[in-house]
């Protein structure tokens, strides 16, 4: 029975430093819980000079990731550099050396996860990745184990803290998108290039991983329709309120008759729903199973310590198994590998729902009738129309439709946005009325 387990870390950035700090500060607590000491044997990073404010034995630091991979005393390799390469190569090499791997790399897992899981399988090891979705929230374990008696019906997730922070500030401090983004950047919640977060790509990575675990299918990442939040204006946030709704960047994965509906976009949700109460950098995932019904998981979706908490929980799980020489491997994706088939992705343009349409027009008689005429020709009927404020142009016309589809909305807007009375591209948001 082993009582020390060797940890190697590649990537000593924010999450790497958080992970090291937790392993140090809670070393005795973890020993109490596991009878194990988790020893950091090697930390590789291109920058080993910067002081992270964490005392680390200089002998442990290296610029050469290979030193981690080839160290026979490293049982678990923790990959925290992110991105595709060299992360994928480091992970595969480590697996081939019989090491277990812990990673937070959602981009890699969502797009090239299969080659990694196959390599793990071939080498009798495993990959753990709780930190890749929802930061510190133990959502992957909950889906894979806690709810595994259920056929999952749907997942609705607020999975990006940066985007949620921006939308929250637009809502509560009445900021515009750019202003809220600048504030998020100043506070360290958003990158200098915020595309991954605000354009929905990071959220799409996460819903791809979650959908694979929940529904047991391979999700072709490029098939996920993704829209970001750059087009949301202060006006839309206020109109949402007037309608009893809140705007959230939502990831949706829904299982219907063996097909997967999957999409990432800003939507309006009822303000009384728990997801509407998720503010700032917090994440939440609303999961419905056929027997358990509605469940929700909430916590910080990013940051050195929440994400580090998930990384260390994975390290502990693996260490517990290693220490007992146990060959028991829970399949990392919740299903044994052969079970996975490629998902049949539903055509998102056919997903039915009510829509919020906000048009910016000139203030001229007949505009409203012209626009509603075009909507009608495309089979779209309206449940309400708000036109406020005369005088200043452009004038906002806000319409809420009865149930229709993206296909119909897109077709109508293609014509409407060409009208010379329409001054800016129309914003269309799905209203998730049936959120349980």
- Residues near its own copies, by CB under 8 A: 18, 21-22, 25-26, 29-30, 32-35, 130, 136-138, 141-142, 145-151, 216, 274, 277, 282, 289-300, 305-306, 308-313, 315-317, 320-321, 324, 326-328, 330-331, 334-336, 339
Question: CB-wise, 38 or 208, nearer to its own copies?
Answer: 38
Question: CB-wise, 184 or 217, nearer to its own copies?
Answer: 217
- Going by C-alpha positions, the residue among 311, 129, 319 that lies closest to residue 208 is 129
Distance CA 143, CA 122 (A): 25
Least separation in angstroms between residue 209's CB and its own copies is: 16
Least separation in angstroms between residue 221's CB and its own copies is: 23
In 10 A of CB 235, how many CB atoms? 15
Least separation in angstroms between residue 74's CB and its own copies is: 19
Going 355 to 358 to 364 to 370, the CA torsion angle's sign is: negative
Strand segments, DSSP code E, in 57-211 are 61-62, 76-79, 100-103, 127-128, 152-158
- Going by C-alpha positions, the residue among 323, 300, 330, 327 that lies closest to residue 33 is 323
Least separation in angstroms between residue 316's CB and its own copies is: 5
Least separation in angstroms between residue 7's CB and its own copies is: 12
99 is catalytic: no
Distance CA 349, CA 215 (A): 21
Omega prior to 428 cis, within 30 of 0: no
Question: CB-wise, 343 or 411, nearer to its own copies?
Answer: 343
Q: How far is CA 299 from the centre of its chain?
A: 13
Distance CA 391, CA 373 (A): 24
Query: Which is catalytic among the residues 21, 206, 248, 300?
Result: 206
Going 340 to 130 to 194 to 227, the CA torsion angle's sign is: positive
Dihedral-angle region of residue 391 (phi above 0 means left; psi in -120 to 50 means alpha; beta otherwise): left
Question: CB-wise, 201 or 214, nearer to its own copies?
Answer: 214
Question: CB-wise, 150 or 233, nearer to its own copies?
Answer: 150
User: Hey, which residues are catalytic here?
Assistant: 206
């Amino acid at each position: 029975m082993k009582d020390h387990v060797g940890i190697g870390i590649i990537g000593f950035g924010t999450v790497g430093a958080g992970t090291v700090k937790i392993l140090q500060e809670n070393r005795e607590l973890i020993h109490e819980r596991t009878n194990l000491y988790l020893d950091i044997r090697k930390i590789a990073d291109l920058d080993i000079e910067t002081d992270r404010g964490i005392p680390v034995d200089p002998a442990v630091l290296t610029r050469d990731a290979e030193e981690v991979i080839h160290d026979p005393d490293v049982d678990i390799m923790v990959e925290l550099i992110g991105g595709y390469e060299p992360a994928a190569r480091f992970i595969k090499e480590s697996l081939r050396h019989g090491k277990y791997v812990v990673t937070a790399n959602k981009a890699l897992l969502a797009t090239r996860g299969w080659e990694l899981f196959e390599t793990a399988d071939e080498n009798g090891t495993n990959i753990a990745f709780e930190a890749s979705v929802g930061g510190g929230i133990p959502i992957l374990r909950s889906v894979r184990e806690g709810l595994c008696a259920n056929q999952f019906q749907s997942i609705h997730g607020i999975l990006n803290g940066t985007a949620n922070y921006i939308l929250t500030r637009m809502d509560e401090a009445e900021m515009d998108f750019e202003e809220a983004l600048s504030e998020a950047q100043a506070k360290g919640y958003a990158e200098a290039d915020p595309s991954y977060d605000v354009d929905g790509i990071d959220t799409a990575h996460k819903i791809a991983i979650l959908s694979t675990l929940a529904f047991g299918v391979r999700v072709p990442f490029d098939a996920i329709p993704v829209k970001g939040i750059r087009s949301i204006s202060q006006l839309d946030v206020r109109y949402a309120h007037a309608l009893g709704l809140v705007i959230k960047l939502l990831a949706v994965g829904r299982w219907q008759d063996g097909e997967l509906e999957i999409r990432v976009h800003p939507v309006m949700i009822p303000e009384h729903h728990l997801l509407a109460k998720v503010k700032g950098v917090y994440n939440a995932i609303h999961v419905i199973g056929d027997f358990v019904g509605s469940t929700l998981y909430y916590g910080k979706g990013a940051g050195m310590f929440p994400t580090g908490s998930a990384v260390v929980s994975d390290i502990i799980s693996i260490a517990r198994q290693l220490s007992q020489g146990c060959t028991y491997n829970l399949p990392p994706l919740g299903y044994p590998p052969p079970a996975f088939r490629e998902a049949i992705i539903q055509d998102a343009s056919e997903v039915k729902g009510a829509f919020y349409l906000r048009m910016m027009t000139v203030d001229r008689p007949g505009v409203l009738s012209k626009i509603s005429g075009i909507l009608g020709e495309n089979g779209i009927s309206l449940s309400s129309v708000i036109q406020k404020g005369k005088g200043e142009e452009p004038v906002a016309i806000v319409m809420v439709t009865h149930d229709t589809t993206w296909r119909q909305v897109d077709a109508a807007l293609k014509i409407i946005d060409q009208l010379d009375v329409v001054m800016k591209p129309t914003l269309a948001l799905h209203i998730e009325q049936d959120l349980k």
